Structure formats: C-alpha cells, structure tokens
Structure 1
Amino acid sequence: MKLGFAMPHLLRLKATCQPWEAKVTGADQTRLAKWAEKLGYAMISVPEHHIIPKTHVDLSGPHYLSAYPTMAYLAGATEKIRVNSCIALLPLQHPAITAKALSSIDWLSSGRVSVTFGVGWLEEEFETLGVPFRERGAMSEEYIQAIIELWTKEEPAFEGKYVSFRDVAFEPKPVQKPHPPVWFGGDADAVLRRTARYASGWWPFLTKPEDIPAKIDFVKSQPDYNGKLTDVFYGFATTRVGDGHVIQKDPRARAGMTKQEIIDRLCWFKELGVTMSSVPIPSVNHLEDYLDYTQWVAEEIMPVVA
C-alpha cells in the first residue's frame, strides 16, 4: 500500500476541507511538495474544475486549479515524486492540447506523470464552456483514443466524429513507454469499461469500499480488457463525499484517527484491492502542525502498510 500526499487548499470542498486550509498559499504548497517527496510519499494529485456555477459553490467551493499547469509546477519543484490529476476533465479541451500538455510534463520531469481522466458531472460547467454534456461519454471515448495515438505513433492519424487529424507531427513523445499511466475516475459501468480498455488505474469516488472487489472483477471481466489494471486509489475522505459533493457522515473516515485506526483501515482497503490511499487532512492550527502530522504518518504509518 502506497500513500499519496493530501495537499491542502487544492479545493475547498465542504465535506472534507478544514478551515485552516484556506490560508495555505501557493508558496506553502511548493514547500509541502518538497516535504512530501522528502518523506517518501508516492504521489500528489490535483483536482480540476474550470468554473463553478454559483448554485454549487456552497458544497463544491470556488477554488480549483487547472490540473496540467499545476502538475507541471509541482513536478518542476520536485525530483522524484509522481504527479497525477484527480480528476482531469477529459471532454472539456481538445485531445491534442491534453496530449501535448501531458507529454511535455512527462518529458520535462523524466517520466513522473500519471493522469486520471473523468468525463465530468457538473452539467452547468459544460454549458458554460459550450461542450455538449450528453455527449461527454462518446467524446471521452474518442479523445482517449486520439491521445494515445499522438503519444505512441510516429505518424499519428485519427478519424472520428469529434476529432480528426492526419499528416501531422507530434513531439516530444512521453518519456514513459508506451505512454504515461492512464487512470479513469468514476463509478458508472461505462467508466469501468473504459478503464478496462485503456487504463492501468481506477479511482472510484461514489463506490463504497466493500463494493470495490466486485467493480474490479467487472473491469477484468470485460471482453476487451487490456490486462493492465494495477492501481486502485481510494482515499479515506472518499466516503465523506456524496453525489454532487453532498456531505456524507462516516466516522470511520474522520480526520484525526489514531495510529491503529488508520493502519486497520488501510489494511482493509488493501484486502479489497486498493493499492494507494491518503490519510485525511486533520484539523490543525497552522501549516507547521500539518508538517508535523505528515511526518508522523510517514514515520508511524507508512512502514507498517508498505
């Protein structure tokens, strides 16, 4: 079991965020990224929304970074730790732009990029950006095919309903071969089928922990399963967030759990097929307390569950 680093103030989700996080600055996050790497955390992941309608601000919060620039910055501030998204909204920008952004980060970071794509759920966000919400699944299917084509082929060509290209050059190619690890986030059968076809990782959001094994079996049972599912990320705080970011109460996933409670839950996750998790951000008074807490997790929890 590996542990991702829970970076404060990447969002202000009402269900999970602590009040002190809103004071964390970009400079603080640079310091934290270096600290996470020093302590041996496996990954930092960046959530993404481009715009939040006023009707969703209460639960979702207004504060989200753009995934790819933020991943690039964090990769540039570090030397070893992996960067990921959680999630990047696949249908909301042209796949050539997405492919170029990710291959650029991978090339510059010497191969430290993973990406978790999602199809999105916030209909008003799609409307604002002029992207057809009801077609997001079909668009995502084409976009991931086009991205992989650009990453892996010397003479990429693709013909689809939403994107087409031929007689083009695309470099730099990613350092990682055949391409950076692709994960998909979400819980619907369509997401799991897409995971089976293209991905090596899955990031559930609304799936209950006890249902994870059945979902993994579903992925692996698909007739076009690529045989590459190696990673499943399930954070402690996942069960505190419901559909539409509605708050869910789960005392088993509260912040500030004891050492044994954290270890027991991580071991349970591992039995369910989870390969990576993250410990909830606790309610502390300031950043220095969080540095101490993440060091405690690294020293007391990480060796036991590794």
Structure 2
Amino acid sequence: MKFALAASGMDNYPPAMAPWEPHAGREEILRYAKKADSLSWDWLTIPEHVIMPNAMVEHMGTRFVEGITAASVLMGATERIHMLTFVLVLPYRHPLLLAKQIATMEFIAGGRFTLGTAVGHLQHEFDCLNVPFEKRGAMADEYIAALKEVWTSDKPKFDGEFVKFGDFVFEPKPVQKPHPPIFIGGNSKPAMRRAAKFGDGWIPWLVTAEDLPECIKYMKSLPEFEAKKDTFEFMCTTTAYNVNDAHIDKGETHISADRDSVLREVESLKKAGATSVQVRPPRLPTFEACLEWIEWYDKEIIPQFR
C-alpha cells in the first residue's frame, strides 16, 4: 500500500476542516510539507479550484489554491515526496501550457509529480473561464492525448477538435518515463472508463470499501485496462465524507483518529482492492497536534501495510 497525505492550509473545506486551517499560511504549509517529506508518506495531495461560486461557499469554503503553482512551491521545499493534484480540472488549461509547466517542475525537481485530473463539475467556474461546460469530457480526453504526445514525441504533432499543433520541439521532457503518471478522478462510469483508457490510476472520492470491488470489477472488464493491470493505482480516501456529488452535507463527516479505527479503515480498503489511500488528518485543535498526528500515523499505521 502507498499513502497520500492531504496537504494542509490549501483549502477550507467545511466538512473536514480543522479549526486552525483557516488561519494557516506560509509557515504552516511549508512545515507540514517538510514534516511529511521527512517521513515515509508517498504523496502530498493538493486541492484546486480557480474560483468558488458564491452559491457554493457554504458547502465548499472560500480558499482553494492553484494546483501547479502550489506543487512547484512544495517541490522546491522538499526533497523526496511526490506531489499529486487532487484534482486539477483539465479543460481549464491549454495542454501545451500545462505540459510545459509539469515538465519544468519535473526537470528541476527530479520527477516527483503525479497529475491527478478530472473533467470538473462547477459550471459557473467553466463559465467564468469561458470554457464550454458541455464539452468538458471530450476536451479532457483530447487534452490527455495531447499531453502524452508532447511529453513523449521528438516531433510532437496533434490534430484534434480542440487542439492542433506541430512543427516544433519541446524540451525539457519529463523525468518520469514515459511520462508523469496520470490519475483520473471521478466516481462515475465515464470517469472509470477514462481512467482505464488514458490513466495510470483512479482517484474517486465518494467510493467506499463497500463500493470499490464492483468498480474495480467493471474497470478490469474494459479491454484497455489489461495492459496496465500490474501497475494501475486504485487510490481511495479514508475520509468518510457525508456529502453528495454536489458537496451538499447529508450529515457529519467522520474522520477517524485512533489506532484501531484507522487500521480498520485502511485494511477494509486494502481488502476491497485499493492499492493506495489518501489520508486527511482529523480535526485536531492545533497545528502542532496535527504534525504530531501525521508522525504518529507514519510510525503506527503505514508500516503495517508496507
């Protein structure tokens, strides 16, 4: 099993936010990342939204970082740990620009980046960015293909509906070969098909240990999955978010903190087929207590699943 730790201070998502997080800034964010880097966590996960519609502030909060900028800063502040955008909405960026940003980070930091991406769900965000919401699925599929082309080809060329390019060179290439891993987010069957066809992993966020076996069975039935079955990552969050797909609360979100409960959660996901988990620390009252908890988790939980 691999373990991804949700970065701190990057959002203020009401269902899971600790009381100290709205006041967190540079010092807390960098100390947290460096602490995780000094331990055995595999990834830091980085949330993202460009804007937050007023109608969604109650449910999603106001603070969300931009994923590529945040990943760059944290990669510069760390030596070992990988960054994972969780998730970057792919249609918001031209794939050539995104490919260059990621390749630049990889070149300087020695790899250490995983692109967690999805089609997006906030239509108002699409409208503000002048991106057609109804075409987001087709755009995402084409953008992934364009990213792979420019990252892997000596003479990149692409002729799609949304992207056309050619007659240039592209360097630096990414350090990770053949390209940085791409994990696809989303709970729906289209998201699963996209992950099986284009991705190196799947990162749903409302799929439980009870749901997961059927999802994996479906993905393994897809012909595109066969070639990647030995390396594909199924990453599920250990946080039992009690919200619907629109982030509307259905009740209190529970985050386990004690050893027995945490062990049971990870073990149930492992038995269900997860190869990695994303962990969000519980709502501890202080930042220092949070640092102690992620160190405790590293010593008491992670070694049980290595």
User: Normalised by the shorter chain, which TM-score bucket?
Assistant: over 0.9
- Please show how residues 85-234 of structure 1 align to structure 2 within 5 Å: 85-225=85-225, 227-229=227-229, 230-234=232-236
- Provide the C-alpha distance between the structure 2 equivalents of 1:272 and 1:187, rounded to a whole number of angstroms: 16
Letter in 2 for 1:134: E
Structure 1, residues 248-302: CA drift from partner, whole Å, max 9, x if none? 447xx72353201110110110011112223432232321111111111111111
- Contiguous gaps of at least 5 residues in structure 1: none
- Provide the C-alpha distance between the structure 1 equivalents of 2:18 and 2:248, rounded to a whole number of angstroms: 16
TM-score by length of 2: 0.95
Letter in 2 for 1:228: K
What is the aligned length? Answer: 304
Q: Quick check: 1:7 aligned with 2:7?
A: yes
- Provide the C-alpha distance between the structure 1 equivalents of 2:103 and 2:67, rounded to a whole number of angstroms: 14
- TM-aligned CA distance change 1:256 to 1:208, over 3 Å: closer
Q: Quick check: 1:268 aligned with 2:268?
A: yes
Q: Secondary structure at the match of 2:84?
A: strand
CA contact (8 A) 1:13 1:245 kept: no
Q: Secondary structure at the match of 1:45?
A: strand
- TM-aligned CA distance change 1:199 to 1:238, over 3 Å: farther
- Provide the C-alpha distance between the structure 2 equivalents of 1:184 and 1:238, rounded to a whole number of angstroms: 20
Q: 2:243 aligns with which of 228, 241, 244?
A: 241
CA contact (8 A) 1:15 1:246 kept: no
Letter in 2 for 1:176: Q
> What is the CA-CA distance between 1:110 and the residue it aligns to?
0.8
In structure 1, the residue matched to 2:79 is 79
Q: Secondary structure at the match of 2:3?
A: strand
Segments ≥4 residues shifted beyond 6 Å:
none
CA contact (8 A) 2:196 2:224 kept: yes
TM-score by length of 1: 0.95
> What is the CA-CA distance between 1:191 and the residue it aligns to?
1.3
CA contact (8 A) 2:187 2:206 kept: yes
CA contact (8 A) 1:86 1:116 kept: yes
CA contact (8 A) 1:15 1:248 kept: no
- Provide the C-alpha distance between the structure 2 equivalents of 1:282 and 1:189, rounded to a whole number of angstroms: 30
- Provide the C-alpha distance between the structure 2 equivalents of 1:6 and 1:225, rounded to a whole number of angstroms: 28
- Provide the C-alpha distance between the structure 2 equivalents of 1:284 and 1:225, rounded to a whole number of angstroms: 40
Q: Secondary structure at the match of 1:19?
A: coil
> What is the CA-CA distance between 1:90 and the residue it aligns to?
0.2
- Contiguous gaps of at least 5 residues in structure 2: none
Letter in 2 for 1:234: C
- Provide the C-alpha distance between the structure 1 equivalents of 2:223 and 2:94, rounded to a whole number of angstroms: 29
- Provide the C-alpha distance between the structure 1 equivalents of 2:131 and 2:123, rounded to a whole number of angstroms: 9
Letter in 1 for 2:106: D
Q: Secondary structure at the match of 2:295?
A: helix
> What is the CA-CA distance between 1:226 and the residue it aligns to?
5.6
The RMSD of aligned alpha carbons is: 1.5
Letter in 2 for 1:59: H
- Provide the C-alpha distance between the structure 2 equivalents of 1:20 and 1:27, rounded to a whole number of angstroms: 13
> What is the CA-CA distance between 1:238 and the residue it aligns to?
4.8
In structure 2, the residue matched to 1:61 is 61
> What is the CA-CA distance between 1:30 and the residue it aligns to?
0.8
Identity of aligned residues (%): 33
Structure 1, residues 202-239: CA drift from partner, whole Å, max 9, x if none? 00123333121221222222123362252111112253
CA contact (8 A) 1:82 1:112 kept: yes
> What is the CA-CA distance between 1:24 and the residue it aligns to?
1.4
CA contact (8 A) 1:91 1:140 kept: yes
In structure 1, the residue matched to 2:305 is 305
CA contact (8 A) 2:241 2:254 kept: no
Q: Secondary structure at the match of 1:202?
A: strand
